[in-house]
Amino acid sequence: MKSQSSQLATRGMQAALRVRQQVGADLHSPICVYDACDKVGVQVRFAEINSMEGMYYRGTPAKIVIGARRPLARRNFTCGHELGHHVFGHGSTVDELQEATSSTAWQPDEFLVNAFSAALLMPHVGLKRAFAVRGTTPDKATPRQLFEISCNFGVGYDTLVNHLAYGTQLIGPERAKEMGRSSPKEIRKLILGRDVQEALVVVDEHWTAPTVDIEVETLALAPKHTIVEGASLRHCGSLEIGELFQAVNPGLGRLATKPNGHSRFVRVSRFQFVGLSKFRHLEEVPDDEH
């Protein structure tokens, strides 16, 4: 099993690098998986389905459907997973909710496309850089730093920790277990100093993704002296550790940090947006495209 899984992980990683080249992405930066699907001609739709993470429909055009109610970072990973089914020429597939499938038998194709999604969203070289620029290493990073890096790559905290341990092997299983003890809710409290129910994205000074992709209600913590342009975000307070914003309207905006001139484009989608992915940031979605 071990050698089979490591062969599959290598195949997943190689395919992810090929797709990155195909869509004109470099081999280290975070990417938007929906933009990548557009570029390879796979249509992505978010739908109100509660029974599955997503599905892949093999056809012309190929289509991916993602459960709109899942957390945003989970949707991103699922989209990469379904794109993996496409890239590897698998047949139409329904992926049930992760919780429901965790106890089922090991399936090589599912393992392969998970490895593909992880490598597509969190390339090895990019991860190593992300730790280095924050003056740390995968072995020494605090839960807060791991959370910041997971935000930057658009994945969940646990997804990052698992990939570091079982995908890239940059950390050992013991370290993964230790880091896995911190829940995202606890980390949000650690960062903001209070309990919050909303999702949080930390857009730190080392942010390298081309855009900040969030949905209405999400909180965004940016460095001190950051101001917002556009009506998609509202400033909710100056904290000692930075400026806190909340996404309030779908559309485009910009976060500009005065002292260092950093500027990040922000794309806000409706909360749990339902419809074709290409419409997710529009302020008004065409009626027939919901």
- Nearest distance in Å: CB 13, Zn ion: 17
Tell me whether residue 52 or residue 127 sits nearer to Zn ion (CB atom). 52
CB-nearest residue to Zn ion: 95
**Region for residue 140 given its phi and psi (left: phi exceeds 0; alpha: psi -120 to 50; beta: otherwise):** alpha
In 10 A of CB 115, how many CB atoms? Answer: 25
Comparison of 52 and 255: residue with beta carbon closer to Zn ion: 52
Distance in Å, CB of 81 to Zn ion, minimum? 5
Q: Which of 53/158 has CB closer to Zn ion?
A: 53
The DSSP line for 199-213 is -EEE--TT--SSEEE
Q: How far is the CB of 89 from Zn ion (least distance, A)?
A: 13
Residue number with CB closer to Zn ion (143 or 156): 156
Task: Decide if 88 contacts 64 (C-beta within 8 A).
Answer: no
Please tell me what DSSP assigns to residue 264: E
Determine the Cα–Cα distance for residues 256 and 265; give it in Å rounded to an integer: 9
Report yes or no: 78 and 66 within 8 Å, Cβ to Cβ.
Answer: yes
Q: Which residues bind Zn ion (CB under 5 A)?
A: 93, 95, 110
Question: Which CB, 9 or 149, lies closer to Zn ion?
Answer: 9
Least Å distance, CB 197 to Zn ion, is 30
